[in-house]
Amino acid sequence: MAGDQTMGMAATKLHPPAPPTRLVDRSRLHVILDGGVDRDVPLVLVSAPAGSGKSTLIASWVLRSARAVAWLQIEDSDSDPATFWSSLVAAIGRCRPEFAVAVGPMVIGSQGDGRVVVPAIVNALVEAEPLIVVLDDYHVIDNADVHRGLERLIDLCPAQVTLVLATRVDPPFRLGRMRVRNRVAEIRAEQLRFASDEASVLLGTAGRALSEQRLDDLCSRTEGWAAGLVLAGLSLERAADPDRFVDAFRGDDQLVVSYLSDELLDTLGAGDRLRLLETAVLDNMTGSLVDAVTGSSDGTAWLADIANRNQLVVRLDSTGVWFRYHHLLRDLLLLEAQRSMPNRLTELHGRAASWFEAQGEHDRAVVHRFASGDIPGAITLMRSVGPNLLGLGQVRKLRAFLEQIGPAAATDAACALGWGWCEYLASQFVSAQRWLDVALSVAPPGFDAMIATPLRINVALGSGDVASALALARRVSADEDLWRRPAELASAVGGAYTWAGLADEARLALAVAVARSKAEQRFTAHVLALIYLAIVEADQGNAAAAGKAAAEAISTAESFGIAGYHGVAPAFAIRARTTIDGEDPRADVAHALQLARRASTEIGLAYVLTTCGDTLLDLGDDAGAALVDEARVRVDRCIDPGIAGRYLRRTEARHHLDRLPSNTSSGGVEQLTERELAVLRYLPTKLSQRDISAELYVSLNTVKTHCSAIFRKLSVGDRQSAVQAARDLDLL
């Protein structure tokens, strides 16, 4: 039963509100809405202040529409781009299930990047049946990225799709240009004003008791404002002298304040008044939630009764299960609750949080925990909410929650890991490592350290430290349970083996990553696994296999909406390097460089620069030399660049761009002594030669001598190359 209630609550976001008890025929406005649709106008803008009847008008109109209608009730959380586009896709998906299947992964994979999502939406709708998409309360959106993306969607909108926006203020679109091009139809506050005949219906019995002149006077005083008329109707029902009431009635915003204090709240029974104030903390309400928050037992009946008596209580479904207060009413109920019972709000939010937790709605529960000031409770919920937000690509929302937790995030392993992922995804590797250290230091007994391993490996690779990543990967492999772990772990392990040049181990881990990521719908992990497979084949000299794997990685990334992710750059570079049939690879080179320079790791960027430089030099383009030089700068910053350093060294030698002394002996590798092997084991670390001498209790000159012998025997000219050469020979 709880599950059904939760599903009902979530579905109200994707359903138009049920019509009020007294539904006014506003066919004169329906004509404008119909005209916009008939003229294939991409945007119908219904813009007017709160309480003007926007939502009711649109909801009544779509009830009679022959077209399919996707409805989205905007909430505060929808200002996050990933949340907004996910919500919009879900709304359209109710009418077009295949649409959600096609576009949903792109939203998650791109973290709500409008540059990716909008073209995907357009392409998925271009052949679809006619559709109306309603965005109610769009004024809640305060994110410039969402505004830009939606305006672009309007620009590219297929002719058979109409977007209807209900908002209190005009969105920051270029409306002037849309008007000139006949791309927008508009309904404004003056058109929404109720005429006398409409007001009579809205007022019900009270309206029929007024003369035509009195109705005209009332409409004049309220300026046809729907909320003002509704409030007037409630007062008229109790007025001893209707004519005197109309004479004294004021229809501006101050009316709402005076009505709530002097009319509605003061005339209600003590029980109803208290329950209205207590439930003001809720966005949406159902009977059991009202009971949980207020301590009552008749919440379902009370909601139905109050909705019948007050048109400012809105039914959110046709079955009368979910309700909400009109925004004006809720805002002022909250103000009154803060004035009259401020000490109880914490308790009320806490009860709401407990109810949502019991329903499994942890993302809603955590909002109430924050509102109640219960940071420990919020932290507990973040242990499930955080990973879920990461999986949905809602990194901004995760960061916002963690910021609300504040310094206390450093006391919880899960929150610290969440911060680590946020910083890693922003390419802040030093900060990510700091949060990782915090997470492991505060982890409670019994904490599964493997949870942190994907981030630990990725941060190590991001910092240019293949040796540390490889040590972690080998530890995971030793447990032999990759199949039981999340796809991100297998992908990270495969990445460590890939950059270490251990092809067989990489292929095994990446096969698991591909299979697990498909099953778990972890799109980024899936694409990265395919890219690592392409790098493995390229490193092994299998050009055809590398090109095929790179092409598959790119097409998969495009289908998931993450082709613009910087981590996809190596796939474009490899496709350019392995291009056949006379095709010009320069476009792939340019695209790979553009992506890689956004936020890539030192190793990833060095690899892309080398691959692209190698390709251009083979084409006779001297610009490739500058890319190779840039790659050298990147590699020199790495503790252990793995195969990226080896590939760079070979490229420099092949194109006669050597920057380091080398030994090109073609003979077999001379065996290293025990002392040389001891020194070799420290070369992949951050330790200097002086530090190594202290660790081994020998002189600095002895270590220098051993290093020179190692370089000579491995036919390399520097420490990084020695590490990779030793790894290739199974000496490390």
Res 514 pLDDT > 90? yes
Cβ neighbours of residue 722 under 8 Å, at least 6 residues apart?
680, 683, 707, 710, 711, 714, 716
Q: 206: closest CA among 181, 243, 158, 170?
A: 243
**Are 490 and 560 part of one and the same domain?**
yes
The whole-angstrom distance between residue 325's C-alpha and the CA centroid of its chain comes to 28
- The answer to whether residue 2 scores a pLDDT higher than 80 is no
Same domain, 80 and 184: yes
pLDDT of residue 308: 78
Between residues 39 and 215, which one has the greater pLDDT? 39
Say what the pLDDT of residue 715 is.
82
pLDDT at 259 over 70: no
Are the C-beta atoms of 569 and 534 separated by less than 8 Å?
Answer: no
Nearest to 351 by CA among 412, 389, 296: 296
Tens of pLDDT, residues 551-599: 999 999 888 777 777 889 999 999 999 986 556 799 999 999 988 887 6
pLDDT 10s digits, 23-60: 788 889 999 999 999 998 999 999 988 778 888 899 99
Same domain? For 602 and 479 the reply is: yes
For residue 314, the one-letter residue type is V
Residue 128 falls inside a structural domain = yes
Q: Cβ–Cβ contacts within 10 Å for residue 579, how many?
A: 18
Each residue's pLDDT tens digit, 109-155: 788 888 888 998 999 998 889 999 999 999 999 999 999 999 999 99
Q: Provide DSSP, 286-299.
A: -HHHHHHHH--S-H
The more confidently predicted of residues 216 and 493 is: 493
Q: Which of 2-6, 455-459, 641-645 has the lowest mean pLDDT?
A: 2-6
The pLDDT, as a whole number, for residue 352 is 96
What pLDDT, on the 0 to 100 scale, is given for residue 501?
A: 92
Radius of gyration of the chain (CA): 32
More reliable by pLDDT, 203 or 443: 443
* Residue 330 domain flag: no
CA dist 601 to 202, 459, 525, 642, Å? 63, 9, 16, 13
Burial of residue 625 (number of CB atoms within 10 Å: 0-12, 13-18, 19+): middle
Quick one: pLDDT at residue 358?
Answer: 94
Q: Of the segments 230-239, 244-253, 684-693, which one has the largest average pLDDT value?
A: 684-693
Please check whether residue 210 lies inside any domain of the structure.
no
Assigned token pair, 677: 């092997």
Last residue of a domain, one of 132, 164, 192: 192
Q: What confidence category does residue 455 fall into, taking pLDDT thresholds of 50, 70 and 90? A: very high
Task: Indicate whether 237 belongs to any domain.
Answer: no
Q: Mind giving me the DSSP string for 205-259? A: HHHHTS-HHHHHHHHHHHTT-HHHHHHHHHHHTT-S-HHHHHHH---SHHHHHHI
Q: What is the pLDDT of residue 69?
A: 93
Using the predicted structure, report yes or no on whether residue 628 has a pLDDT greater than 90: yes
pLDDT at 11: 66
Q: Are strands 131-136 and 161-167 parallel, antiparallel or unpaired?
A: parallel
Residue 661 has pLDDT above 70, yes or no: no
Phi, psi values for residue 80, rounded to 5°: -70, 125
Average pLDDT of span 316-345: 84
Closest CA to 719 of 731, 730, 704, 697: 704
Query: Is the residue at 36 inside a domain?
Result: yes
Q: Is the distance from CB of 150 to CB of 87 less than 8 angstroms?
A: no
31, 321 contact by CB (below 8 A) = no
Output the domain CATH number for residue 456. 1.25.40.10
**Do 548 and 600 fall into the same domain?**
yes
Q: What is the three-state SS of 448-465? A: CHHHHHHHHHHHHHHCCE
- Which pLDDT band holds residue 239 (cuts at 50, 70, 90)? confident
Q: What domain range includes position 598?
A: 452-654
Q: How many CA atoms lie within 13 A of 326 on its CB side?
A: 23
Asked whether residue 535 falls in the same domain as residue 647, the answer is yes
The answer as to whether 231 is a domain residue is: no
Express each pLDDT in 672-720 by its tens digit: 887 887 788 788 888 888 888 877 777 878 888 888 888 888 888 788 8
Cα 149 from Cα 163, distance rounded (Å): 13
Does residue 540 share a domain with residue 474? yes
Q: Both 553 and 594 in a single domain?
A: yes
Q: Which of 243-257, 370-384, 475-489 has the highest mean pLDDT?
A: 370-384
Q: What percent of the chain has pLDDT over 90?
A: 46
Does the residue 201 lie in any domain? no
Is residue 470 pLDDT above 90, yes or no?
yes
∠ Cα 169 171 176 (to 5°): 110
pLDDT of residue 19: 77
* pLDDT at residue 533, rounded to an integer: 96
The answer on 531 and 633 residing in a single domain is: yes
**What is the residue-wise DSSP string for 85-140?**
HHHHHHHHHHH-HHHHHHHHHHHHHHTS-HHHHHHHHHHHHTTSPPEEEEEETGGG
Instruction: Tell me which of 626, 654, 682 is where a domain ends.
Output: 654
Q: Give yes or no: residues 482 and 540 share one domain.
A: yes
Band the pLDDT of 256: cuts 50, 70, 90: low
Q: What pLDDT does residue 134 have?
A: 96
Sign of the torsion formed by the C-alpha atoms of 330, 336, 340 and 346: positive
d(CA 643, CA 723): 10
Q: For residue 720, give the nearest of 644, 657, 664, 651 by alpha carbon.
A: 644
Whether the pLDDT of residue 253 is over 50: the answer is no
Q: What is the mean pLDDT of the chain?
A: 86
Q: What is the CATH number of the domain that holds 715?
A: 1.10.10.10
Tell me, yes or no, whether 180 and 57 share the same domain: yes
Q: Confidence band (pLDDT; 50, 70, 90) for 184? A: very high
Residue 5, pLDDT > 50, answer no
For residue 363, is it within any domain? no
Q: Based on the fold, state whether residues 74 and 149 are members of the same structural domain.
A: yes
The token duo for 379 is 């932290």
Domain end residue (candidates: 621, 654, 687): 654
Q: pTM for the complete prediction?
A: 0.74
- At residue 164, what are phi and psi to the nearest 5 degrees? -115, 120
Is residue 707 a contact partner of residue 689, using CB atoms and an 8 Å limit? yes
For residue 471, give the H/E element and its range.
helix 466-479
Q: How many domains does the chain have?
A: 3
Tell me the CA distances in angstroms from 711 to 492, 642, 725, one per residue in order.
30, 16, 10
- Distance from C-alpha of 608 to C-alpha of 600, rounded to nearest angstrom: 10
Q: Is the pLDDT of residue 343 over 70?
A: yes
> 645 with 681, same domain?
no
